[in-house]
Every structure is written in C-alpha cells, then in structure tokens.
C-alpha cells in the first residue's frame, strides 16, 4: 500500500460525508485502541502550561485578617469601594474573594496593600 501524504488524506476526508467520517473515526479508534478525545487532548505538547501562562484574570482572596483587622477593613474598602458594613463582612467571612477578574498588576497591588495592612492573601 502506498503511503498517502497529509494533503491526500485531507482531500479524501473532504469528500466523505459526516456519517462516513464518523464510521472512519470509530474504526480508527478500535484499530489503534485510542479515542479521538485523547488525541485532541494530547495535541500540542504543553497545552496546559500554555493556558496557565495566558491567564489574564486573577482573583485576590483574603485568607485571614490577622491582628490588624481594622486596617484590613480599611484596605478592603479602598480596593472595592464597599461600605463599612460590607467590608467588615468580607473580612469576617475570610477566606473570601476581595477582587475577582482583576488584571495581574491590580491583583499584585491589592495583595501588597492587604499584606501591608496585616492580612494573609493569595492570588489565584
């Protein structure tokens, strides 16, 4: 059997109906003991690592207020423009997200400000 080039294979697939292509995929999976989903996931090497590098939105999570609760409440108010009662509720209900969907720079600034006030913070 002659070896087909990628272009020839694609040309052959283009001529197939959806049903024929579906049957081909099933036969391919049975013959090589793989699944099409596994092939798609295995796709480009390091796909998950690339997705992590491209993260553009970050959540700033207040883990605990620490000893200086009042200073942390003031920082939460400054970062979120919440009222005093709402900011206190956020601090009291830690761990709680203070900012969601923030840029990397904004998340880092918020983390630094909250940590300076005495809070324990994580950025996700």
pLDDT exceeds 70 at position 7: yes
Share of the chain above pLDDT 70, in %: 84
The answer to whether 107 and 99 are in contact (CB under 8 A) is yes
Residue 52 has a pLDDT of: 53
Residue 48 has a pLDDT of: 53
d(CA 70, CA 113): 14
The predicted model gives 87-93 an average pLDDT of 85
Pairing verdict, β 96-102 and 120-123: unpaired
The answer to whether 90 and 82 are in contact (CB under 8 A) is yes
Residue 40 has a pLDDT of: 52
pLDDT exceeds 70 at position 36: no
Residue 83 has a pLDDT of: 86
d(CA 17, CA 67): 68
The predicted model gives 26-42 an average pLDDT of 71
**Alpha-helical regions (H) of the chain:** 6-15, 18-32, 36-42, 47-53, 69-80, 84-92, 104-116
pLDDT exceeds 60 at position 64: yes
């Amino acid at each position: 059997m002659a070896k087909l080039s990628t272009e020839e294979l694609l040309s052959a697939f283009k001529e197939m109906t959806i049903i024929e292509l579906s049957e081909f995929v099933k036969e391919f999976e049975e013959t090589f003991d793989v699944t099409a989903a596994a092939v798609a996931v295995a796709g480009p090497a390091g796909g998950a690592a690339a997705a992590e590098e491209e993260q553009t939105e970050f959540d700033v999570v207040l883990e605990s207020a620490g000893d200086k609760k009042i200073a942390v409440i003031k920082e939460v108010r400054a970062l979120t423009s919440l009222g005093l009662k709402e900011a206190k509720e956020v601090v009291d209900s830690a761990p709680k997200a203070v900012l969601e969907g923030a840029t990397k720079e904004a998340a880092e600034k918020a983390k630094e400000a909250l940590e300076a006030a005495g809070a324990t913070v994580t950025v996700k």
